Amino acid sequence: MKKIIALLICAAMTLSLSACGNNDEDNYTGTTAKTTQSTTLNTSDNEEDNAVPLKTGMCVINSLASSKSASEDSDGKIKAESTFAAVLVDSDGKVVQAQLDCAESETAISITGEIDVEGGTEFKSKGELGDNYGMKDASGIDKEWYEQAEAFCNFIIGKTQNEIADISLDESGRPADADLASGCTIKVGAIKEAFVKACESASDMGAKQGDELKIAITTVASASSKSASEDGNGSVEIDSEFCALTLDKSGIISSILVDSSQGEVEFDLGGIIVTDVTKPYPTKKEEGDEYGMKAASAIGKEWYEQAKAIEQYAKGLTVQKLSDTPFENQKPAPDSDLSAGCTMKAEGIIENAVKAANS
């Protein structure tokens, strides 16, 4: 009898264990699937939430100093140069990414006050010219301008604003540091200054670790440019758009900065420059309230305020969405999301931002 009871107990335990085993397997499989999915989602969310924030900064240094009057021996020239630097810096102020380009726009002036450029003419930047810039053959290290610019950018990765400011230069303004000079022998005085100021101005605008920093310059001769005549002096105005932005891994703009500049040189009927070209000319953001748009603005906003509205509008958009921004006569269409904060001619600013994103 005891044996029968023992056998019955063993059978019951076997059935019970078998049933528990099935339930555990079902629970385990289900729990694992759900936990894995949940963990994956949480990990993804955490990666995005915990992504290290980076500060975005840019600086433009403009110069007309290379311009010169015409003479009996040769034509004069109006030369506008813009050095454009952009950075991403971490919480310690160290450069994580750096981008550099320079615009060099030159127009000849004859001894009779005539210019050789038409309004609307676009000038390519040194970076855009690439191998066609023509520095390589004259370079002591057999490097084109864009290659030397890249070497400078690579050199400052991991450096702070102060460490960039301390980069030693020789009397001609070229790198004195042997490591830097091995890849960059161009004059870098303005470049160094631009990067120092870009680091100084950098702020938290939404960029994070893993985002990509991109820049673009668009430079054209204004339609107002004209030769001198009996009726008055001539002038050349160079209009430039600058954009630095970051794209996240999804192709969404995570931070963006825009700026513009107008460099104008006036000259007389003899090709003699009458503008003081020794002074750097500021960008429109640098001019601030002095730019003087507010009084003429339909919304009572200065240029830098409307530029900020453009930045706020563009952040969070894909490049395609940004390029689809509607305009009427170069101004944001009245029914567009941008028109509430920006009523100035901004089509060129947006086009340059799209150019940066696609670079």
pLDDT above 50: residue 254: yes
Q: Rounded to an integer, what distance in angstroms lies between the CA atom of residue 116 and that of residue 248? A: 43
Q: Which residues contact 85 (CB under 8 A, 6 or more apart)?
A: 58, 59, 98, 99, 100, 191, 194, 195, 197, 198
Residues 199-216 pLDDT 10s = 999 999 999 999 999 999
Residues 58-82 pLDDT 10s = 999 999 999 999 999 999 999 999 9
Q: Rounded to an integer, what distance in angstroms lies between the CA atom of residue 87 and that of residue 198? A: 6
Q: Rounded to an integer, what distance in angstroms lies between the CA atom of residue 341 and that of residue 306? A: 6
H helix runs in the chain, sequence order: 2-49, 126-129, 145-156, 161-165, 178-181, 189-201, 284-287, 303-314, 319-323, 347-357
Residues 77-132 pLDDT 10s = 999 999 999 999 999 999 999 999 999 999 999 999 999 999 999 999 999 999 99
Residues 282-301 pLDDT 10s = 999 999 999 999 999 999 99
Residue type, 341: G
Check: CB of residue 175 under 8 Å from CB of residue 169: yes
pLDDT for the residue 284 = 98
pLDDT for the residue 48 = 55
pLDDT above 90: percentage of residues in the chain:
84
How deeply is 35 buried, as exposed, middle or buried, from its count of CB atoms within 10 A (0-12, 13-18, 19+)? Answer: exposed
Q: Compute the mean pLDDT over every residue in the chain, rounded to the nearest whole number.
A: 89
Residue 241, CA atoms < 13 Å, CB-side half-sphere: 19
pTM for the full model?
0.85
Residue spans per domain, the chain: 52-285
Q: 53-63 and 203-208: which strand pairing?
A: antiparallel
Residues 39-54 pLDDT 10s = 333 334 455 556 899 9
